Copies of this chain bind each other. A is one copy, B any other.
């Protein structure tokens, strides 16, 4: 039986999503018919009355156009619009609406999303952004921000904290935990965070630097907020979050928490499956750019082109653009290209990304005396900025 017709009081505001779909036009139209229902009412369309549910809640195909195929055969880009009310103005349901069930169907990739002001208003975004971090660490707008990671796992706390101090005193701005630091028996979260936060604070005082230590919130889901507050009590000046492990909305909740008012760095762990296949998943710029920024990350780490991974220059620039371009009232965030970066590439990276970037160099900072290497990294960044400027 057809359900009774429903009248809804909707604003008319719509979210526009673009999907890249493998297939010729008839096949793509069929996929879209499925998508429009699957991502919204998930109910046989012929059983819904000719009412506001069918007219407004079921997604609507706005345009279909041929595009260069990312795989075999043809592909089309389709703009699909959704009533903002379908999201309930909540981030998990926004993600579910955009790509929840359709993620299970190969040949569909989410490549762009445009949110209306009424939707963006629910996302405070980065609390600091690039400019805010510059102010905290005392970096002029001409030079790139500099970041590194404490590692490797297994080192005693005495060594990790000595490392943190050496790096803080010699000119790196953001010192994060290696993202694999959890609560291993050789370096439990509380002990590690307390020691490293103290080491960075003392080094800053001694050397007159303003380095920020960002412990990794690779902790059980029910301890994220407590772990963040513990870290801040210990003097950590920032936090690193892992939305691939804990979900983008856990990051949003943390970033929106006024008790936790420090810069947040997003790490890409486990997010690779969204981007690995060109014919399914979600675009690089959306995952590491838009979603990280909506979640409130001030810095987004991703593998740079030419490093240990396989992102292209174009994909990396799309991420950087999504982090920095105008997006409602959200502050621009800093792209942090990483993954096997070397000091020799600092100039090239500044050329590529411009100064509003956080250059993340990890293990290679230890190839030689780490204090000297840290100073070299800082000098290289300043030289590159001067050249670019």
Contact = CB atoms under 8 A, between A and B. Distances in A.
A113 interface: no
A367 B103 CA distance: 27
Contact of A44 (B93, B100, B277, B364): B364
A40 B182 CA distance: 12
B180 A40 contact: yes
Contact of A363 (B44, B252, B279): B44
A220 B100 contact: no
A253 B96 contact: no
Contact of A3 (B3, B34, B159, B282): B159
A103 B276 contact: yes
Given A53-B152, A85-B185, A103-B272, A178 B310 contact: no
A380 to B, nearest CB: 19
A92 B219 contact: yes
Contacts of A3: 152, 155, 159, 366
B90 A253 contact: no
Contact of A253 (B155, B184, B221): B221
A249 B220 contact: yes
Interface of A: 1, 3-4, 6, 8-9, 34, 38-44, 47-48, 52-53, 57, 85-88, 90-93, 95-97, 99-106, 149, 151-156, 159, 178-180, 182-186, 218-222, 225, 242, 244-247, 249-250, 252-253, 257, 268-277, 279-282, 303, 308-311, 339, 362-364, 366-370
